[in-house]
Amino acid sequence: MSDQTTTAAPSPAEPPAEPSVFTRIIAGQIPGRFAWADEVCVAFATIEPQTPGHVLVVPREQVESYIDADDATIAHLAVVARRIAATQVRVFKAVRPGIAVVGMDVAHLHIHVLPLHEAADIAPSRARQADGAALDQAMELLRAGLREDGWGAFVPAQMGSPALA
């Protein structure tokens, strides 16, 4: 048996019947608080953060799950998640970054990236509805930190838009 690396994703049975909530956020049909935007993906605040600064890294293309995405997309999402995580650890004074791919609630690939202060922070049961002011404060802190870390070209000019500069 040969060890082959594939770059193509498995073919989905059919395209999604309707846009996911994440596709609608990216399209501006639902408000979002964006910390990152590039040609492949965006990162925005979850409305139920487990810790302040918790974001979702989401491909612009609606791909249902981790195993449906092509290798290049997965690699890109991983790099963006690492960059955001490094900034989160610094600006939220976290012990470690938390990264999780779950995808049970929304059929659109997304990576949870959150600053961890203790191991229990990664538990989904820690998620709590956050008010707008708290989300705004956490996202502005993260956005400023990403600029300080040299990623300003990927921080959208307006927090409410994933538009590229």
Catalytic residues, by residue number, are 110
The two three-digit tokens of residue 7, written as one number: 């770059």
Look at strands 111-116 and 55-59 and give their pairing: antiparallel
**Beta bridge pairs of residue 116:** 96
Spatial distance between the Cα atoms of 55 and 53, rounded to a whole number of angstroms: 6
Q: 26 to each of 39, 112, 113, 156, how far by Cα in Å? A: 12, 16, 18, 12
Helices (H), 11-128: 21-26, 71-91
List the one residue out of 72, 39, 37, 71 whose CA is nearest residue 57.
37
Angle at 43 between CA 144 and CA 107, to 5 degrees: 165
